[in-house]
Chain A
Amino acid sequence: MLNIKNLQVKLEEEDKQILKGVDLTVEAGKVHAIMGPNGSGKSTLSYVLSGRDGYEVTGGSATLDGVDLLALEPEERAAAGLFLAFQYPVEIPGVGNMTFLRTAVNAQRKARGEDEMSAAEFLKVVRAKAKELQIDAEMLKRPVNVGFSGGEKKRNEILQMAMLEPKMCILDETDSGLDVDAMKLVAEGVNRLRSEGRGFLVITHYQRLLDHIKPDVVHIMADGRIIKTGGPELALEVENNGYADILNEVA
């Protein structure tokens, strides 16, 4: 489903190479996890895939179901089925959360040539999904992420994902800043979406999230490359021993 081949990325403004040849394939129906030291390029990978400005792809490719992601505008990538849950969700004063969600859902439907969701239907669906994530009506009315706690912002990301029903979901440290109960809610939200046709790429520092969202494959990223790939046991190894052994082993 998601095919990344030898992806190389530098900063647009500086002569700094961040991704130095990333190879990664996420199959439909599978959950892949990426772990790796701070600054190794995990968020950069997620931003480059979703089309954020400021990065220059100097080599390699990234496709989603055969579609060249790197040739598309961010909104086209979203319509093609890519979703990124941000490590730092953005606050947008003056734009109501509901308006935001509905605009996004309908924009994607329109881009795919589907009918827009009626206001009534939208309201029904969003209320049900918000309830599952324990997001109350008050939060839906407030401006996007403004005044939300760290955990509320992350739950709001998952609500967006649930509404948009993307094919390929990238979660960048969605577990950071979550208390134990919120972590469960988020994990349940993700697990509800798990299906044969959908792939997940879960970026995390902690095994704890992976207890709830069982990954099929775990990758270790360091210094802009995937340096090791394994099963769920790889995450346990990191949890117990840190990255030193793995880094030494590869060096």
Chain B
Amino acid sequence: MALPQRKQSATEARLAGLVLPAGGWSEPPRREALDRLAAMGLPDRRDEYWRFTRPDTLVQPEAPSARLMADDEAPLFGQTERLRIVFVDGVFDAAASDDLALEGVSIERLAETAGKDIHWARDLYGVLEARGQTPVQRPFAALNTAFASDGVLIHVTGRPSKPINLVYVHESETSDVILHHVVKVDAGGEATILENGPAAARFNKCMEVDIADTGKLHLVRAQGRDHDRRAATHVFARLGAESVFKSFTLSVNGVLTRNEVVVELTGDDAIAHVAGACVGDGDFHHDDTVFVTHDAVGCESRQVFKKVLRNGAVGVFQGKILVKPGAQKTDGYQISQSLLLDEDSQFLAKPELEIYADDVACSHGSTSGAIDETALFYLRSRGVPHTEATNLLTLAFLAEAVAEIEDADLAADIVARLEGWLARRS
């Protein structure tokens, strides 16, 4: 089917400035991704899946410039022993990074593997992304697979003693960055990946995650504080039997963020938790788009998304639980809530359940509300000043999402960032 002319030209204009990295094992999957992209085209505002979020600044050839923000906060995850892999505007910074050797895991860079035959990565690169293109198209992910300049390939074979931290530094006001990571967790393996930083003026990031039976992956990410930054990110996770995937995303500021998470539960008794907390003030548009497919028996999935919005900030949640025929004993939960700190802000939610099995328990809920006046008065009557009481209630609102982070130190780090954001507005 031919693309509409407008879409076709917008897509061509975007691709004109990009060069597909040639050579090595990744070239064939990159070319396939380019074909996928050519067939679907980049999204425009008429696409149903982009009804609440305008994709034009993500599609346009040049990244809109983004001012840099002097980050005066203590480095995130600074208290946690971790292996740091640093990218500055998408370019690997060897000097700032740690040695990539760590017991229980092998780590390589996508940009350096051209001549090597890394068969595990070759079997996954673009594969999970391609699977995630149905039933809904995700053109930016195909674009990412085709053109990613770098990324990390993480093979978890055991239980590394510390988290792997991808640090995304933003130093150029016009950087337009595409990174693609692949993570494979072997049976019995368990690892934590941390991601933080604004990364670029415009950031397109994709992470493919394949977790074998009984493997576990924890993902905690924080999308930097820069107000003008834009990001379109995708996580594609495929879970084997009795495996666990837990992800939490903190988004503080950012003029435009679209985080898509696509989870496929393919083995029995697997567990997937996808959570996010975002806080936005003013020119802020934050979109969580989540698609969880239950295709095995006895799996549990949780989606917990909380958004705090003020001064005209906009939050979007599109979340779906699809239970395929035969996926009995599914336990699916989805909650998306916004706390509107004034009347100018808005929350747009589209929660969906699609169930083709009869023995399942799925619940979903979406709410939008202001600070609870009764609770506020109760706190004030105990002497807590108005602003402090509001902040306390705001953190309480976010607590259910933050509680999805298993590690208490990491959770405390995230809470500290949220407190910082609130304090700067008090």
Contacts and interface: CB of A to CB of B under 8 A. Distances in A.
A10 to B, nearest CB: 19
B384 A92 contact: no
Given A74-B380, A78-B380, A103 B396 contact: no
Contacts of A11: none
Interface stretch (B37-45, B72-80, B271-279, B386-394): B386-394
A177 interface: no
A73 B387 CA distance: 12
Contacts of A51: 377, 380-381
Contacts of B389: 75
Interface string A79-112: 1000110100111111100011001110110010
A104 B396 contact: no
B383 A111 contact: yes
A222 B392 CA distance: 39
B265 to A, nearest CB: 29
A85 B380 CA distance: 13
A52 interface: yes
Contacts of B410: none
Contact of A104 (B372, B382, B400): B382
A90 B375 contact: yes
B383 A100 contact: no
B399 interface: yes
Interface string B389-417: 10011011111100000000000000000
Interface string B315-340: 00000000000000000000000000
Contact of B383 (A52, A92, A107, A143): A107
A251 B39 CA distance: 88
Given A93-B396, A94-B400, A95-B393, A52 B385 contact: no
Contacts of B395: 94-95
B388 A103 contact: yes
Contacts of A90: 374-375, 377-378
B395 to A, nearest CB: 7
B377 to A, nearest CB: 5
B71 interface: no
A163 B377 CA distance: 19
Contact of A73 (B378, B379, B386, B400): B386
A37 B176 CA distance: 71
Contacts of A164: 382-383
Contacts of B377: 51-53, 74, 90
Instruction: Output the residue of B382, B384, B385, B399 with the most chain A CB within 10 A.
Output: B382
Count class of interface residues, chain B: 20 to 34
A83 B380 CA distance: 11
Interface in A10-63: 50-53
Interface residues of A, number: 31
Contacts of A93: 396, 399
A174 interface: no
Given A73-B380, A107-B383, A95 B388 contact: no
A94 B396 contact: yes
A75 B380 contact: yes
A84 B381 contact: yes
Instruction: Output the residue of A52, A78, A79, A94 with the most chain B CB within 10 A.
Output: A94
B381 A50 contact: yes
B378 A92 contact: yes
B405 to A, nearest CB: 15
B116 to A, nearest CB: 49
A52 B373 CA distance: 10
A107 B396 contact: no
Contact of B382 (A52, A73, A78, A143): A78
A207 interface: no
A181 B377 CA distance: 30
A160 interface: yes
A92 B382 contact: no
A226 to B, nearest CB: 23
Contacts of A143: 396
Given A92-B393, A95-B393, A75 B383 contact: yes
Contacts of B384: 75, 103-104, 107
A160 to B, nearest CB: 6
Interface in B264-291: none
Contacts of B392: 95, 99-100, 103
A93 B375 CA distance: 10
A100 B382 contact: yes
Contact of A53 (B373, B379, B393): B373
Nearest to B399: A94
Nearest to A112: B383
Given A53-B373, A93-B396, A100 B379 contact: yes
Contacts of B397: 94
A56 to B, nearest CB: 16
Contacts of A73: 380, 385-386
Given A74-B381, A94-B399, A164-B382, A107 B388 contact: yes
Nearest to B397: A94
A78 B386 CA distance: 12
B378 A75 contact: no
A232 B399 CA distance: 48
B385 A92 contact: no
Nearest to B402: A94
Nearest to A143: B396
B286 to A, nearest CB: 21
Nearest to B394: A94
8 contacts: A73-B386, A75-B380, A75-B385, A90-B374, A90-B377, A95-B395, A100-B392, A107-B382
Interface of B: 372-375, 377-386, 388-389, 392-393, 395-400
The 4 A-B residue pairs with the shortest CB-CB distance, nearest first, are: A94-B396, A78-B383, A108-B383, A104-B382
Given A75-B385, A75-B389, 5 more contacts: A75-B380, A90-B374, A90-B375, A111-B383, A164-B383
